[in-house]
């Protein structure tokens, strides 16, 4: 809107005056054209009030998981802030709210798998390395005032054919809340309310200009009256049903007065300024509401549901009441290397139960299976009682308390053991490096406690580590005959993220930049090789390296790069058909893929035991829940 510069102060010759009139008229048209996107902005705003639920806080709760964003790109976007950006930003907001859904995570991963990382922006942005200044912050969250720049950058591609990635800028900032919100958008009947907000917006913009003109005193008073009336009504109404009667008439009145005012005011500069002010305010407000809902969503997905907490308490109490029962019989089977040993790291009783139940239900010989549930002292007794009361075919179950083993590393991190880690990672599409198109995925990796495995099982040669957010759908015994070719672990590759993209975290360490990252959930572990390579030691050393480079002190904040580097070159890829990931993050996992997969992995925030779990995938999980359990019904557990 550089056209605004036409208004110079010195007198103009008549011919120029004509031009000036034209310029003013054009300018007014431009201002009016801005109002159209504003309608949308206002409607977005009211959309938030309707959801009123939902979002994301980056800080982790100790016993839960840490989600991070390894993409610092948003901060690197140059400071361009022209008027044009404003309106493209609005267009972009509209784009984002179209009811389209991103492609499912699996497709994306496979799609990107074959490409090189050469052009990846993540690498480009890892500049700080050269001057050895600290690398990116732990959580490179785009500061609020920069958000619109990031968004405007996407517009170009968003307007193109690819409407499937519209959630991107939202996801970078708010994570899976964006997907959840799309799924749960309520349709509101608020046509009139929106119209009112719109008119109010315009009236407010014109008011200061008309108030200055003393000759139009009456008109300005009338406008003010209308504004106040609308403000009052809108403060009490969010949908059309809330509105008082005869609104149509009042609307007409308002619009009539606006038309009159418009005909009087010729100088659009002030109106334009005012509009811009209001627009900024509204944007901030919209962002605020978004953050707020995103925070609530995050709270809901990271907090242990009350009923599960109750279950754990009830079981603990019951355990100590029933001391007379011999629950501590140890079994030779726990250490028999000829059996199939499965390890589950979990504090969630129901989740562990489902994993074990679904495994034994599909097992050809459950008598050969031994499950080791590794848990914290807090849940230990509840777990013990639970697995004493419930039987899973002929399988053997041992509950292990971490505190019995974890003396060594506790010093640096008292009272904290992560059972598993999940990271939100947004990666630029390699195929189109110019755009800011990104894939957001939740990568689950080992927690600190996984590195105690050789201590837990000094006599075993191989174990299979199962995530607590999986459901097994087939017999797992073929896993035991896989030839790992000398590698330490077996895992599903996740090639959208390569080690080279985490270079800035890893300092001068030597590694192959093309190495794929991998997922936990279903992992083979060769404990003999583990000890040979001294993996536990290596991990703790690399953890220190990353901590030093990033100046991040929390283990969770830096574990991902350290873990990936620890196992670099030591991962045997499992075939894709073993593990299907994404059921806790994508609403669009294909039914066919689910049908074929041996193990379903609910990585992401929307776990099946949560209210917010994705409804269409919950059934696979619930199927293996115990029925008619006394404690469950007492605690009203009904996931």
The residue (of 451 and 624) whose beta carbon lies closer to ligand NAG is 624
The residue (of 114 and 407) whose beta carbon lies closer to ligand NAG is 114
Report, in Å, the least distance between residue 592 CB and ligand NAG: 19
Residues 6 or more apart in contact with residue 627 via CB below 8 angstroms = none
d(CA 353, CA 638): 15
Q: What is residue 462's three-state secondary structure?
A: strand
Report, in Å, the least distance between residue 353 CB and ligand NAG: 5
The residue (of 383 and 546) whose beta carbon lies closer to ligand NAG is 383
The residue (of 232 and 623) whose beta carbon lies closer to ligand NAG is 623
The residue (of 151 and 395) whose beta carbon lies closer to ligand NAG is 395
Residue 137, CB half-sphere, CA atoms under 13 Å: how many?
11
Report, in Å, the least distance between residue 370 CB and ligand NAG: 16
Report, in Å, the least distance between residue 123 CB and ligand NAG: 19
Report, in Å, the least distance between residue 366 CB and ligand NAG: 12
Query: H helices of 138-237, where?
Result: 147-159, 168-174, 177-183, 191-212, 217-236
Q: Which helix (H) or strand (E) holds 516?
A: strand 516-526
- Residue 30, class by beta-carbon neighbours within 10 Å (0-12 exposed, 13-18 middle, 19+ buried)? middle
Q: What is residue 293's three-state secondary structure?
A: helix
Report, in Å, the least distance between residue 426 CB and ligand NAG: 22
DSSP 8-state assignment for residue 522: E
d(CA 151, CA 144): 12
d(CA 262, CA 274): 14
d(CA 59, CA 339): 41
The residue (of 259 and 627) whose beta carbon lies closer to ligand NAG is 627
The residue (of 391 and 636) whose beta carbon lies closer to ligand NAG is 391
Residues 6 or more apart in contact with residue 148 via CB below 8 angstroms = 81, 85, 86, 89, 283
The residue (of 209 and 379) whose beta carbon lies closer to ligand NAG is 379
Nearest to 275 by CA among 2, 20, 36, 26: 36
Report, in Å, the least distance between residue 624 CB and ligand NAG: 4
d(CA 139, CA 488): 31
Name the token pair of 320: 């100590």
Residues 6 or more apart in contact with residue 592 via CB below 8 angstroms = none
Strands annotated E in 433-515: 438-446, 462-466, 470-472, 489-498
Q: Which residue is nearest to ligand NAG (CB)?
A: 626
Report, in Å, the least distance between residue 115 CB and ligand NAG: 8
Report, in Å, the least distance between residue 593 CB and ligand NAG: 17
The residue (of 392 and 609) whose beta carbon lies closer to ligand NAG is 392
Report, in Å, the least distance between residue 439 CB and ligand NAG: 16
Residue identified by tokens 């907000």 is 197
Nearest to 419 by CA among 383, 394, 369, 368: 383
The residue (of 371 and 457) whose beta carbon lies closer to ligand NAG is 371
CB 515 within 8 A of CB 543: no
Question: Under the phi-then-psi rule, with left for phi > 0, alpha for psi from -120 to 50, and beta for the rest, what region is 587?
Answer: alpha
The residue (of 88 and 379) whose beta carbon lies closer to ligand NAG is 379
Report, in Å, the least distance between residue 357 CB and ligand NAG: 4
The residue (of 114 and 324) whose beta carbon lies closer to ligand NAG is 114
Report, in Å, the least distance between residue 31 CB and ligand NAG: 49
> What does the binding site for ligand NAG look like in residue numbers (CB under 6 A)?
114, 353, 357, 361, 390, 392, 623-624, 626-627
């Amino acid at each position: 809107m550089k056209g605004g510069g036409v208004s110079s102060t010195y007198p103009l010759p008549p011919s120029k005056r004509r031009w000036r009139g034209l310029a003013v008229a054009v300018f007014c048209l431009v201002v009016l054209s801005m109002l159209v996107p504003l309608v949308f902005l206002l409607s977005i705003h009211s959309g938030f009030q309707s959801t009123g639920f939902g979002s994301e806080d980056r800080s982790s709760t100790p016993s839960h998981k840490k989600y991070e964003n390894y993409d610092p790109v948003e901060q690197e976007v140059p400071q361009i802030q022209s008027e044009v950006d404003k309106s493209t930003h609005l267009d972009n907001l509209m784009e984002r709210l179209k009811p389209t859904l991103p492609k499912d995570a699996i497709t994306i991963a496979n799609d990107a798998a074959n490409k090189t990382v050469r052009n990846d922006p993540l690498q480009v942005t890892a500049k700080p390395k050269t001057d050895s200044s600290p690398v990116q912050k732990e959580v490179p969250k785009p500061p609020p005032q920069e958000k619109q720049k990031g968004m405007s950058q996407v517009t170009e591609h968003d307007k193109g054919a690819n409407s499937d990635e519209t959630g991107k800028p939202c996801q970078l900032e708010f994570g899976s809340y964006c997907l959840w919100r799309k799924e749960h958008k309520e349709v509101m009947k608020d046509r009139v309310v929106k119209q009112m907000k719109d008119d109010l917006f315009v009236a407010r913009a014109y008011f200061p200009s008309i108030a200055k003109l003393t000759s139009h005193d009456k008109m300005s008073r009338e406008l003010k009256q209308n504004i106040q009336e609308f403000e009052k009504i809108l403060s009490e109404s969010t949908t059309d049903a809330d509105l008082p009667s005869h609104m149509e008439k009042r609307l007409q009145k308002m619009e009539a007065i606006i038309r009159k005012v418009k005909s009087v005011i010729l100088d659009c500069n002030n109106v334009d300024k005012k509009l811009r002010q209001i627009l900024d305010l509204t944007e901030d407000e919209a962002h605020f509401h978004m953050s707020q809902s995103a925070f609530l969503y995050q709270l809901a997905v990271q907090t242990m549901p009350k009923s599960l907490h109750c279950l754990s308490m009830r079981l603990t109490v019951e355990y100590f009441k029933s001391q007379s029962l011999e629950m501590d019989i140890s079994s030779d089977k726990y250490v028999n290397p000829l059996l199939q040993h499965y390890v589950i790291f979990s504090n969630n009783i129901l989740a562990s139960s489902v994993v074990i139940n679904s495994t034994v239900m599909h097992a050809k010989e459950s008598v050969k299976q031994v499950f080791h549930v590794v848990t914290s002292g807090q849940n230990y007794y509840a777990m013990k009682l639970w697995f004493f009361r419930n039987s899973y075919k002929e399988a053997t179950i041992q509950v292990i308390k971490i505190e019995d083993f974890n003396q060594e590393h506790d010093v640096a991190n008292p009272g904290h053991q992560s059972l598993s880690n999940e990271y939100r990672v947004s990666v630029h599409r390699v195929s189109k490096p110019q755009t800011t198109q990104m894939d957001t995925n939740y990568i689950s990796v080992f927690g600190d406690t996984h590195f105690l495995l050789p201590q837990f099982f000094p006599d075993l040669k191989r174990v299979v580590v199962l995530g607590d957010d999986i459901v097994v759908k087939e017999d797992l015994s073929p896993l035991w005959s896989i030839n790992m070719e000398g590698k330490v672990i077996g895992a599903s590759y996740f090639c959208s993220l390569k080690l080279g993209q985490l270079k800035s975290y890893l300092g001068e360490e030597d590694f192959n930049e093309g190495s794929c990252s991998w997922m936990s959930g279903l992992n083979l572990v060769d404990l003999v090789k583990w000890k040979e390579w001294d993996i536990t030691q290596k991990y703790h050393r690399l953890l220190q390296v990353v901590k030093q480079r990033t100046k991040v002190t929390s283990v969770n904040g830096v574990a991902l790069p350290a873990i990936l580097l620890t196992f670099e070159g030591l991962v045997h890829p499992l075939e894709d058909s073993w593990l299907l990931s994404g059921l806790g993050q994508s609403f669009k996992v294909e039914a066919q893929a689910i049908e074929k997969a041996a193990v379903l992995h609910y990585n992401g925030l929307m776990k099946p035991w949560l209210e917010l779990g994705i409804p269409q995938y919950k059934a696979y999980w619930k199927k293996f829940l115990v029925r008619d359990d006394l404690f469950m019904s007492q605690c009203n557990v009904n996931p």
